[in-house]
């Protein structure tokens, strides 16, 4: 996608990928530092400074600011309880999910600052000058959202291993127990020849579902934030200073909602990973027997 910005023959292209700002290492190797990575580093720096200031001002008798943050923290814990239905599990999940929410929220809002997307430099590309912004919202880069999604999916499975054990987590995807039941129970219950392959197939679907989680999380967040930046850029080019105002406030709200949705979905994934599916199946079978 290309904007109609042709002042001094300089073109500004809106790309779905982050533009490299500088390169580290030899030309043949090393890696590029992109504008979205710089913004992500800035978000991390803001979080670190904020945490240091908050830690230095902690008191046993909270002041007004500390009291506000304690209310927000208690609200976040209550919201997590609504997903987990277990305060002990919420106390384990919240320290993992809350920093993720703050990081995504700051990245979303940094992309709305005037300097983001407008401050940069020019570079030659295919014979014409191309404007490259120095900063770009980290969540407007699919590489960032994809990395966060992979981290959540892998982290939730590691969390499940720590809670319910390696064997039960592995058996959820590769149902060896169901295959073994064919040999052990086929004489007493021939129906196991049908039920066991179905359970194995369900486990494979669970594995495919983990990959689907990565795509769902990453493209939802990226699509909303990137579309918002394109919308603001288009409105600013057409109606400068006047019309972009309402859209800017809308994007502030959307940035908050998208960070909340991403964090809540991560909480759901951690909660599901921490559940013992074998116990649930056993309680269901006991319930059926009791009803009979």
- The answer to whether residue 289 scores a pLDDT higher than 50 is no
CA distance 271 to 197: 27
CA distance 49 to 90: 26
CA distance 139 to 116: 13
The reported pLDDT for the residue numbered 159 is 92
- The answer to whether residue 11 scores a pLDDT higher than 60 is no
pLDDT digits (tens, 9 = 90+) for 236-255: 666 665 556 677 788 888 88
Q: Average pLDDT, stretch 78-84?
A: 92
Greater confidence, 45 or 289? 45
Whole-Å CA distances, 17 to 121, 148, 177 = 17, 16, 44
Percentage, residues of the chain above pLDDT 90: 25
- For residue 126, the number of C-alpha atoms closer than 13 Å in the C-beta half-sphere is 1
Asked if residues 95 and 108 have their Cβ atoms less than 8 Å apart, the reply is no
Average pLDDT, the chain: 78
pLDDT digits (tens, 9 = 90+) for 159-202: 999 988 888 888 788 777 766 666 666 667 666 667 667 777 77
The reported pLDDT for the residue numbered 3 is 47
The reported pLDDT for the residue numbered 157 is 92
- pLDDT band at residue 131 under the 50/70/90 scheme: low
Which range has highest mean pLDDT (122-126, 215-219, 287-291)? 215-219
- Which value, in Å, is the radius of gyration of the alpha carbons in the chain? 25
> Comparing C-alpha atoms, which of 283, 270, 225 is closest to residue 83?
270
- pLDDT band at residue 24 under the 50/70/90 scheme: confident
CA distance 40 to 105: 11
- The answer to whether residue 137 scores a pLDDT higher than 60 is yes
Each residue of 168-197: b (16+ CB within 10 Å) or e? bbebbbebebbeebeeeeeeeeeebeeebe
Q: Average pLDDT, stretch 202-218?
A: 86
Greater confidence, 67 or 3? 67
- pLDDT band at residue 58 under the 50/70/90 scheme: confident
């Amino acid at each position: 996608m290309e904007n109609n910005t042709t002042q001094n023959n300089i073109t500004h292209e809106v790309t779905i990928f982050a533009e490299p700002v500088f390169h580290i290492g030899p030309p043949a190797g090393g890696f590029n530092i992109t504008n979205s990575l710089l913004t992500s580093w800035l978000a991390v720096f803001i979080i670190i400074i904020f945490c240091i200031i908050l830690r230095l001002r902690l008191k046993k008798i909270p002041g007004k600011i500390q009291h506000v943050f304690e209310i927000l923290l208690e609200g976040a814990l209550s919201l997590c309880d609504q997903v987990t239905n277990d305060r002990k599990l919420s106390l384990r999940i919240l320290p993992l999910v809350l920093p993720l929410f703050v990081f995504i929220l700051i990245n979303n809002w940094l992309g709305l600052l005037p300097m983001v997307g407008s401050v940069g430099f020019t570079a030659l590309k295919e014979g014409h000058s191309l404007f490259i912004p120095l900063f770009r919202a980290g969540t407007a880069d699919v590489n960032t959202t994809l990395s966060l999604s992979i981290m959540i999916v892998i982290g939730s499975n590691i969390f499940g291993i720590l809670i319910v054990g390696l064997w039960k987590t592995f058996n959820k995807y590769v149902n060896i127990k169901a295959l073994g039941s064919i040999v052990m129970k086929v004489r007493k219950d021939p129906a196991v020849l049908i039920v066991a392959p179905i359970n194995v197939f369900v486990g494979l679907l669970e594995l495919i579902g983990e990959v689907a989680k990565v795509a769902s999380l990453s493209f939802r967040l990226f699509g909303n934030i990137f579309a918002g930046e394109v919308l603001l850029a288009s409105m600013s080019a057409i109606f400068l200073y006047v019309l972009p105002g309402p859209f800017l406030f809308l994007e502030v709200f959307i940035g908050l909602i998208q960070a909340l949705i991403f964090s809540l979905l991560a909480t759901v994934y951690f909660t599901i990973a921490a559940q013992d599916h074998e116990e649930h199946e056993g309680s269901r079978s006991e319930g059926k027997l009791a009803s009979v």
